[in-house]
Amino acid sequence: SGPHGTPVSAQVRAGQGPDRHLQALRHEAIAGGERLPELFLDPGYADATHFRLCTVQVPPSTPKRTQTLPNTP
DSSP string, 15-69: T--HHHHHHHHHHHHHHTTPPPPHHHH-HHHHHHH-----GGGS-TTS-TT---P
Query: CB of 7 within 8 A of CB of 50?
Result: no
- pTM value surpassing 0.85: no
Share of the chain above pLDDT 90, in %: 27
Higher confidence at residue 39 or residue 66? 39
Alpha-carbon distance of 20 to 13, in angstroms, equals 11
Residue-wise pLDDT tens digits, 7-32: 877 877 777 778 888 889 999 999 99
Domain ranges of the chain: 7-56
Alpha-carbon distance of 42 to 46, in angstroms, equals 7
